Amino acid sequence: MEETTDRKGFSGLEGAGYLAITTFRRDGTEASTPVWFVSDDLRERLFVATGAKTWKVRRIRRDPRVRVAACTSRGKLKGEPIDGVARIVDEERFVRRLQEEKYGWQLWLAESVSAAMRRLRRKPAEEAVFLEITPLTAAEHVPVSRAA
């Protein structure tokens, strides 16, 4: 992973609606997913809400290194990737407030459609986790090892 962060942190994501979050499989290959994200200070950190049983969460539990970049809703990159470290945090109320401020009616609509689909399929709501992502510094940088 090349070092791409400086003191600006994630400020290059200002105004972006979607974030491509890239995690790393055991063999070092990348897996990228577009997600909504929020932040109270893009220089320091950003947050992502996701399902507790998703593959990205499983990979982050094993290897917290991530790469993020602004993207479209389909995952097409719109900016330069930034290396970071993700961790699961207990910040639901804080992240939900930031989501409501940023996404407003879109959040309400997405959650309403998701709830309706769960009811139709008779499935319980998936447990959510909240990821805090901080930018890597040069001192923390560790290259991704590729399996031979």
pLDDT reading at 5 higher than 50: no
What pLDDT score does 7 carry? 58
CATH number at residue 24: 2.30.110.10
* CA–CA distance, 20 with 27 (Å, rounded to integer): 20
In a domain, 147, yes or no: no
Considering only 66-80, 84-98, 108-122, 123-137, which range has the smallest mean pLDDT?
108-122
Report percent pLDDT > 90 for the chain: 48
Nearest to 24 by CA among 71, 83, 76, 65: 65
What global pTM score does this model have? 0.76
Nearest to 75 by CA among 36, 17, 20: 20
Q: What is the mean pLDDT of residues 73-100?
A: 91
In a domain, 144, yes or no: no
Would you report the helix, strand and coil content of the chain in percent, each value rounded to 5?
A: 30, 35, 35
Host domain of residue 118: 11-136
Nearest to 38 by CA among 27, 22, 49, 51: 49
Total structural domains within the chain:
1
In a domain, 1, yes or no: no
